[in-house]
Chains A and B, each alone.
Chain A
Amino acid sequence: MSKQFQFKLVLLGESAVGKSSLVLRFVKDQFDDYRESTIGAAFLTQTITLEDQTTVKFEIWDTAGQERYKSLAPMYYRNANCAVVVYDITQAASLEKAKTWIRELQRQADPSIVIALCGNKLDLSARRQVTEEEASKYADEEGLLWSETSAKTGEGVNAIFNAIAKKLPLTAPPSARGARVAAPGATRQSVDLNRQSTAHGSEACNC
């Protein structure tokens, strides 16, 4: 039987760069031109299967982008295994905001967190303000995954989540990683479901 893994993923980025749309495309393969702003954060899950038949389940926290909600973000990236930091290729300022998030993740999040930088709204490339060179150079320097996506057309969306899954430590001994966490849910780290089938019933010590 193939291996199954479970990871926490957090989406960060400026307001209206398309975080929720990106997740909606990834999870439900849908797109709405206008979606209500996200308040606090929204939770979704999606499972993908890699070429080697390994399945990876993402538990996704899609956070609100407005600056005012910034103080909530640590609750969501605190124990995340991976982060997608989104900017809008038609808004130069949104890349600056993305860099701020990345610095914060590098300082505050789990040191092993896998970070992907994602330039969204590729369908509007006629109005592009952020060049591919600029963003990819920055991503290289910081050791991030990088790609451009269009939640509207779907272009590149699955690819970026696949790339993340491949970069996650699928070989790390789950028990060792799991021992650090107190309980399932909000603080769960990567879990190999073959070895530890009761993902939600962990009785790990709380002290």
Chain B
Amino acid sequence: MAAKPPPARPHIGLHSSFNARSNADWGEDDVWDSGSDSESPRQSTISNSWRLPPSPSSYRRQSSPITAPKPVPRPPSNSSSSNVSFSYTHLSAPSPGSYPSNAADTTQPAKGGWTMVRKSGTSQEALCAKLPKDIDPIGDVDVDSDMVVGDFEPEMEQAAGIKAKPDQGSIKSDVIEIMNDPLHRFLRSPQPPPEPRFNHRMGHSPRSSDAEKLLRESSIRTNRRIKFIDCLSKDDVNISELRKLAWAGTPNDLRAAVWPILLGYLPLPSNLRASTLARKRGEYSSLVELAFARDRQGLDQQIWHQIEIDVPRTRPGVRLWMQASTQRSLERILYVWAIRHPASGYVQGINDLVTPFFQVFLSAYIDSDPEEFDTSLLPTAVLSAVEADSFWCLSRLLDGIQDNYISAQPGIQRSVKRMAELVARIDAPLYTHLESQNVEFMQFAFRWMNCLLMREISVKNTIRMWDTYLAEGADAFSQFHLYVCSAFLVKWSEKLRQMDFQGIIMFLQSLPTQDWGDHEIEMLLSEAFVLNSIWHNAQSHFNAK
């Protein structure tokens, strides 16, 4: 695919309601630089950074040598017999009294984006009360993961020769502080924390044009980071400013704080965040407690059966998702969501939608690749927080696309139909060709809507895409997404127009997006933005029915 230069901000001014994004700030930094660091040079430095010794601060909490981590139980090969009672024992729930009498009410977002429900505070106290107990494992978990390598997989240590690469991943030293305030690392000082991996690289490539380019990119990134941190530091975050920043991509390390704010899960006033987090996490614990209060027979059999089938085959082959402790978390998230939304229940594909949230929240606590991380190493309270935050953010996302998953899936039917109408307008030759080959949009675009393109692009790509979706607002996952899907299809127009039915269908179900990075995603998003600007308020121009 030809890497065309990005259009010169084609979207500015196309949309009359887009004032917020067209202010002077756009001129200062490069909107095409997402700051999300997925370009390949950066990847290589990440692996380099693993070789660096942990910062002195990460040793501070090491009070005792590591205790042997318990081996991770692998799921049994037959998925239907996994043990339910095992699955939620580690989640310590607050007293049942904290369970809200009408749980559904507490999740309805107020207009301002979050709910202000004053409750007894039991759940918060319960969570706080168990913190000291949960802090203990920190002392036991060695942040220098080199030691863990040997404990888990001796053969890998031998193969590596040197203790080069963390196997299980390394946990940050201040996970409890991060858990209580996702921004605590960033709001202490206005300067971003030093980035040793960058300095490390610069030392090896002096004065080359590459180095200058990297320096320039780095300064753009730093600039964007500072703006993000400025924005997030306010006592009352300016949401439109945050949306404007996030549209062009959120820095990896800030995402776990930015996404919940954009979703309305975290409140804008900074002084309410810690208490909101504690309350919502406590609430989730109560929901889990209630949902799994009885034994397996007490579960909704149909829903549980489907979840039990799908959890072991969610992102198969990815270490994080093959671990028992992650799978138990995923089961609870899906089951609790499903029983709270009986009109849809659990629908295949929702499991995919959990994974970006879980990986983003997990990333906040660790210094390594979340997909390789062993979640059983995390303190219980931290894993519970990752799970609860993922649950609430998933709920927010699904609130906007619930009719994708109810009976007959009318949301998807409508989106696919509108996508076909739009493609007929923006790429008539392609539309005509698909029609002549008897390709129905539903045959390929159903999945694009049902899984939000997650089966077509990587999780890393998805995360970058969601930065923009979340910045776009509540209906982006239904409205904006259909423009993204249309742009995505038209991208392959030339190829598709030379294929017959079989070629088209086969091509569309295994698209060559494996090498896609932020650049390709941002091109797609900008094309979708243009389409959205032109067509969204011009429904009458769509093919009239």
Contacts and interface: CB of A to CB of B under 8 A. Distances in A.
Interface stretch (B10-18, B260-268, B402-410): B402-410
B78 interface: yes
B88 interface: no
Which of A35, A68, A72 lies at the interface centre, i.e. has the most chain B CB atoms within 10 A of its CB? A68
B313 interface: yes
Interface in B400-448: 405, 407-409, 436-440, 442-444, 446-447
Nearest to B438: A185
A79 B455 CA distance: 27
A163 B436 CA distance: 33
B319 to A, nearest CB: 13
A68 B409 contact: yes
B405 A34 contact: no
B217 to A, nearest CB: 35
B55 interface: no
B306 A186 contact: no
A186 B409 contact: no
B446 A72 contact: yes
Contacts of A90: 80
Contacts of A71: 408-409
B176 interface: no
Interface stretch (B148-156, B289-297, B502-510): B502-510
B440 A186 contact: yes
B142 to A, nearest CB: 31
B348 A75 contact: no
A184 B316 contact: no
B527 interface: no
Given A15-B306, A68-B405, A39 B313 contact: no
A121 B509 CA distance: 26
B309 A200 contact: no
B509 A184 contact: no
B349 interface: yes
Given A42-B509, A184-B437, A184-B501, A36 B455 contact: yes
B389 to A, nearest CB: 25
Given A37-B310, A68-B407, A186 B348 contact: no
Interface string A50-92: 0000000001000010101101100100000000000000110
B91 interface: no
Contact of B451 (A39, A91, A182): A39
Contact of B439 (A124, A182, A185): A185
Contact of B437 (A32, A69, A200): A200
Nearest to B446: A40
Interface in B277-320: 306, 309-310, 312-317
B384 interface: no
A36 B509 CA distance: 13
A40 B443 contact: yes
A39 B450 contact: yes
A39 B447 contact: yes
Given A40-B446, A66-B306, A183 B436 contact: yes
Contact of A43 (B316, B348, B500, B509): B509
Contacts of B505: 43
Contacts of A182: 438
B348 A15 contact: yes
Contacts of B344: 68
B347 interface: yes
A68 B78 contact: no
A68 B437 contact: no
Given A66-B306, A68-B407, A68-B409, A34 B438 contact: no
Which of A15, A39, A182, A184 lies at the interface centre, i.e. has the most chain B CB atoms within 10 A of its CB? A39
Interface in A73-115: 75, 90-91
Contacts of A75: 440, 442-443
Nearest to A57: B502
Interface string A122-144: 00100100000000000000000
Contacts of A68: 344-345, 347-348, 405, 407, 409
A42 B446 CA distance: 11
Contact of A39 (B407, B408, B436, B455): B455
Contact of A33 (B77, B347, B438, B447): B77
A145 to B, nearest CB: 26
B176 to A, nearest CB: 35
Given A35-B316, A39-B451, A64 B348 contact: yes
A33 B451 CA distance: 22
Nearest to A76: B443
Contacts of B438: 182-188
B366 to A, nearest CB: 25
A45 interface: yes
B316 A36 contact: yes
Contacts of B77: 33
Contacts of A33: 77, 316
B302 to A, nearest CB: 8
Interface in B70-102: 77-80
A16 B309 contact: yes
B455 to A, nearest CB: 6
Contacts of B345: 68
A68 B403 CA distance: 12
Q: Top 4 closest A-B pairs, CB basis?
A: A185-B438, A185-B501, A34-B316, A40-B446
29 contacts: A15-B348, A32-B316, A33-B77, A33-B316, A34-B312, A36-B315, A39-B349, A40-B443, A40-B450, A43-B502, A59-B502, A68-B344, A68-B347, A68-B405, A68-B409, A71-B409, A75-B443, A127-B78, A183-B438, A184-B437, A184-B438, A184-B501, A185-B438, A185-B500, A185-B501, A185-B502, A188-B438, A200-B500, A200-B501
Given A37-B348, A124-B78, A186-B439, 7 more contacts: A34-B316, A35-B313, A37-B351, A43-B502, A64-B348, A68-B345, A200-B437
Interface of B: 77-80, 306, 309-310, 312-317, 344-345, 347-349, 351, 405, 407-409, 436-440, 442-444, 446-447, 450-451, 455, 500-502, 505-506, 509
